[in-house]
Amino acid sequence: MATAFGGENGARVPARGDALGRWVGHHPIAALAVAVAIIVVLWLVLAPWPTGFEDVFGRKRLFINAIFNGVTLGALYFLVATGFTLIFGLMRYVNLAHGSLYLFGGYMGYEAGEWTGSWLFGFVIAFISCAIVGMAMQFFIFRRMEGQDLRQTLVTLGLSIVFSDLMVWVWGGNAIQIDTPDYLMGPTPTPIVVAVKSSGEAVFLQYPRVRLVIFVAAVVIGIGMWLALHRTRIGVMIRAGVDDRDMLSVLGYRVQLLFILVFAFGAGLAGIAGIVGGTFQSISLGEDSHFLLASLQVVIVGGMGSIPGAALGAIIIGCAEQLGQTYFQNYATVLTFVIMVIVLALRPQGLLGRR
Amino acid sequence: MTLAQITASPSLGEVQRSSTLSRWVSQHAAILLLGLVLLILPAVASDFIFVQVFGWAMILGIIALSLMFLGGYGGMVSLAQMTVAGVAGYMVAVFGASSLPYVSLFWPWWVAVPIAIAIAVAFGALTGALSARTEGIYTIMITLAIAAAFFYLTLQNWPIFNGFAGFTTIPAPIAFGINWKHPLPLYYLILFFAALSYVVVLYISRAPFGLALQGVRDNPRRMEAIGYNVTAHRVAAYAFAALLAAIGGILMVWLNNQISPGSTGIDASIDLLIIAVVGGLGHPIGAFVGAIIYVILRTFALDSLVAIGLDGRRFQTLIGLCFLAIVLFSPDGVIGLWRRWVARTRGGRSAS
């Protein structure tokens, strides 16, 4: 099994720079389809819709709101799933307690926010507390069953059951809403036309500021992670570990320390996402499995162990969920499920995953 | 390597070793004794004990057996088996009778049940086809995602699945002059199918298909090289497991008289995995052992937790901790504990 996972990963890695060009060269039809899809979506978002068009597809405001909600939800999913995929990519077990870490971060952020009155301080507390829990899990439990991926996964499952029950004990079953701070309250005008009045005046979209800020923050975190992975020494170590961790440890690097750091970082990101989720929606019992599912779907669609894949998968799953809820409520989950099935059928390793 | 460590107990060598006479007699003595106890149980126990405890445990055992079959012989730990059971249960409610006249079609049981089983098997085979293309630990991710997607579908969908309310009043049919709704016939029906599925799984594990499946588990590449179609074996295993799970799911609906998203949700799927792992993926009986432990804990832990001064609502923590203890200290489950104990009492001869 170990060879099936680790051995083939590093076999043939195309140079980063021309990967896109090579992909286009190899798959001209798929590339054309992607380009057309991007242009269509851009047109749908940017251009004012012709009147006949709105009769068929409903109001543009509805569509734009679904897309914006989907993309910002995707930002939240990215924060959760990126830690999940990083842990999976490096340590090769599925952290089924990731949803519990998300929920725990949300609760800790809520408590910190109530206590100090600062929304931002909550992020620090959530990150640190989840990172400590993650480090403890890696240090005391997973380190002892190195390489036994099924057993480690089962342990995370047991831990998630205990964690979620203990959290119900402490915080009860009621939903908790984290208040948006005043400076992020209210709508922000955007330069996107949703409708044209009869007088010819364009109506622009107003969108909640906090969601836009979170989206920008997620993008910044994503770019920061990309830079850290590709421009720093520890990033090189992590990428080498994803490709072949046995070889990394043979070369004398302290793989266990790396595992603990990555687990702490991934858990911390889940904690941060908990606050974001508590601000967007609410945190409550059952949200842990919701976000575990979201991470699974994002990682399956985007590619297992790939951070750009997590970003792509998060946007796709977020948009699919929101569009589904807007246009066919009874079958909204079927849409994400169908996307997952198509990806698994055509590309079992995920859109941006490597075999 | 690691999947094999946990799931490799029923290896080819062991099947042959266990056919020595003394092993055969002792193993079958235990099973025959258990069968006898279960047969006469209704005469000595109350309705509640033999239906709600043992009947329920045997149903969970059948569904867990499907997981054990996939995990133990196929090396594919699927979290979607409860979902397959749920699909069968929902379909029985949709095609058969329920309290929802505008959803249910009220077809007779001999039409509704085969349709429900066929749909569940097709669903199981699809699950298998999706996850069989990836390997090892991915299976858990993909099957869990499928299970969760089905859970949220049943929760959000009103036209077919009636949302979070689900279906109630789904009676077991009246067939061959017997009303299977009554506790006693229902108990024996469950017992019959539990015994049947146990024997069939045991038989298949030694039949060519089962042996090939174990070969695929241990070394897919070598099996591929000597001409076996690995993917086809895996998908067929999923389809057979789905048949077991579907039978369990229909019995579950008849026993509980209702089905809702909660009965097939993520928690239920995870509980099923716990049952299979606690019992042990090494032998078909493990599924039933795990199920009876789980049901007894579930039924009596609440009271006993309160009795020793703890909060009865911390039941999930207790289950989780038991599960953790088994995974940490005896990865092959209670069956593994039992085997080691037997090996030790028989002296150092067979000790490893």
Interface residue B77 vs chain A (CB under 8 A): yes
CATH number of the domain within which A290 lies: 1.10.3470
Q: DSSP assignment, residue B53? A: I
Is the distance from CB of A188 to CB of B343 less than 8 angstroms? no
Q: How near does any CA of chain B get to the CA of A148, in Å?
A: 5
The secondary structure of B217-281 as a DSSP string is HH-HHHHHHTT--HHHHHHHHHHHHHHHHHHHHHHHHHHHSEE-HHHHSHHHHHHHHHHHHHH-T
Is residue A299, in this structure, part of any structural domain at all?
yes
- Paired tokens of A263: 């687990």
Q: Which residues of A touch B144 (CB under 8 A)?
A: 96, 292-293, 296
Is residue A8, in this structure, part of any structural domain at all?
no
The secondary structure of A61-105 as a DSSP string is HHHHHHHHHHHHHHHHHHHHHHHHHHHHHHH-S--TTHHHHHHHH
Interface residue B158 vs chain A (CB under 8 A): yes
- Across chain A, what does the average pLDDT equal? 81
Please indicate whether, in this complex, the C-beta atoms of A289 and B142 are within 8 angstroms of each other: no
* A242-262 pLDDT, tens digit each: 778 788 888 888 888 888 888
* A39-78 pLDDT, tens digit each: 888 777 777 777 666 666 677 778 888 888 888 899 999 9
Residues B282, B18: Cα–Cα separation, whole Å: 14
Interface residue B345 vs chain A (CB under 8 A): no
Other Cβ atoms closer than 10 A to A309: 26
Q: Which residues of B touch A158 (CB under 8 A)?
A: 274, 320-321, 323-324, 327
Nearest CA in chain B to A162: B317
Number of domains present in the structure of chain A: 1
- Paired tokens of A285: 């019992």
Please indicate whether, in this complex, the C-beta atoms of B5 and A161 are within 8 angstroms of each other: no
Interface residue B316 vs chain A (CB under 8 A): yes
Residues B352, B339: Cα–Cα separation, whole Å: 12
Interface residue B273 vs chain A (CB under 8 A): yes
Nearest CA in chain B to A290: B148
Amino acid sitting at position B343: A
Please indicate whether, in this complex, the C-beta atoms of A151 and B5 are within 8 angstroms of each other: yes
Nearest CA in chain A to B265: A289
Tell which B residues from 213 to 272 touch A, by Cβ distance under 8 Å. 266-267, 270
Distances from the Cα of B12 to the Cαs of B9, B15, B122, B207, in angstroms?
9, 5, 30, 11
pLDDT of the residue at B22: 67
Is residue A217, in this structure, part of any structural domain at all?
yes
Please indicate whether, in this complex, the C-beta atoms of B3 and A149 are within 8 angstroms of each other: yes
Tell which B residues from 11 to 50 touch A, by Cβ distance under 8 Å. none
Nearest to A330 among B7, B148, B156 (CB): B156
Tell me which of B254 and A143 has the higher pLDDT: B254
Is residue A174, in this structure, part of any structural domain at all?
yes
Q: Three-state DSSP class for A205?
A: strand
Could you tell me which of B75, B23, B27, B30 has the C-alpha nearest to residue B281?
B75
Full domain range(s) for residue A155: 48-346
Is the distance from CB of A234 to CB of A262 less than 8 angstroms? no
Please indicate whether, in this complex, the C-beta atoms of A94 and B135 are within 8 angstroms of each other: no
Angle between helices B285-307 and B315-329 (to 10 degrees): 140
Angle between helices A307-327 and A332-346 (to 10 degrees): 140
Nearest to A331 among B134, B157, B324 (CB): B157
Is residue A42, in this structure, part of any structural domain at all?
no
Could you tell me which of B121, B86, B91 has the C-alpha nearest to residue B109?
B91
Query: Per-10-residue mean pLDDT for chain B, 352 residues long?
Result: 46 52 66 75 73 85 91 86 90 79 75 88 89 77 84 80 76 72 82 89 89 86 87 90 92 85 83 86 84 83 70 75 83 80 70 43
Q: How near does any CA of chain A get to the CA of B195, in Å?
A: 29
Tell me which of B307 and A107 has the higher pLDDT: A107
CA atoms within 13 A on the CB side of A185: 7
* A250-308 pLDDT, tens digit each: 888 888 888 888 889 999 999 989 888 888 888 888 788 888 888 888 988 988 778 88
Give the mean pLDDT of A86-109.
Answer: 86
Angle between helices B183-206 and B230-256 (to 10 degrees): 170
Nearest to B156 among A93, A153, A332 (CB): A332
| Whole-structure pTM value | 0.81
Alpha-carbon dihedral sign for residues B6, B23, B211, B119: negative
Nearest CA in chain A to B3: A150
> For A190, phi and psi rounded to 5 degrees?
-120, 155
Q: Which residues of A touch B218 (CB under 8 A)?
A: none
Is residue A38, in this structure, part of any structural domain at all?
no
Q: Which residues of A touch B305 (CB under 8 A)?
A: none
The neighbouring-strand residues paired with A176 are A283
What is the distance, to the nearest Å, from the Cα of residue B147 to the centroid of all Cα atoms in its chain?
15
Is residue A24, in this structure, part of any structural domain at all?
no
Q: Please name the residues in contact with B22: beta carbons below 8 A apart, sequence gap of 6 or more.
A: none
Residues B288, B103: Cα–Cα separation, whole Å: 34
Could you tell me which of A332, A299, A329, A182 has the C-alpha nearest to residue B144?
A299
* A153-169 pLDDT, tens digit each: 888 888 888 888 888 88
Q: How near does any CA of chain B get to the CA of A228, in Å?
A: 27
Nearest to A149 among B2, B324, B331 (CB): B2
- Cβ pairs A/B, distance under 8 A: 141
Is the distance from CB of B120 to CB of B91 less than 8 angstroms? yes
Please indicate whether, in this complex, the C-beta atoms of B157 and A337 are within 8 angstroms of each other: no
Please indicate whether, in this complex, the C-beta atoms of B153 and A341 are within 8 angstroms of each other: no
Q: How near does any CA of chain A get to the CA of B141, in Å?
A: 6
Other Cβ atoms closer than 10 A to A26: 9
Please indicate whether, in this complex, the C-beta atoms of A162 and B324 are within 8 angstroms of each other: yes
Please indicate whether, in this complex, the C-beta atoms of B327 and A151 are within 8 angstroms of each other: yes
Nearest to B323 among A4, A94, A158 (CB): A158
Please indicate whether, in this complex, the C-beta atoms of A161 and B316 are within 8 angstroms of each other: yes
pLDDT of the residue at A129: 92
Please indicate whether, in this complex, the C-beta atoms of A293 and B148 are within 8 angstroms of each other: yes
pLDDT of the residue at A18: 65
Please indicate whether, in this complex, the C-beta atoms of A1 and B1 are within 8 angstroms of each other: yes
Residues B87, B259: Cα–Cα separation, whole Å: 10
Q: What Rg do the C-alpha atoms of chain A give, in angstroms? A: 21
Report the residue count for chain B: 352
What domains are defined for chain B?
A: 2-19+48-345 (1.10.3470)
Please indicate whether, in this complex, the C-beta atoms of B140 and A94 are within 8 angstroms of each other: yes
Is residue A97, in this structure, part of any structural domain at all?
yes
Please indicate whether, in this complex, the C-beta atoms of A157 and B270 are within 8 angstroms of each other: yes
Please indicate whether, in this complex, the C-beta atoms of A148 and B2 are within 8 angstroms of each other: yes
pLDDT of the residue at B313: 67
Please indicate whether, in this complex, the C-beta atoms of A155 and B3 are within 8 angstroms of each other: no
Q: How near does any CA of chain A get to the CA of B318, in Å?
A: 8
Best mutation target, A9, A142, A157, to test chain B (most B CBs within 10 A): A157
Q: DSSP assignment, residue A58? A: -
* A11-26 pLDDT, tens digit each: 444 455 566 777 777 7
Nearest CA in chain B to A168: B314
pLDDT of the residue at A340: 84
Interface residue B298 vs chain A (CB under 8 A): no
Please indicate whether, in this complex, the C-beta atoms of B140 and A331 are within 8 angstroms of each other: no
pLDDT of the residue at B351: 43
What's the complex ipTM? Answer: 0.77
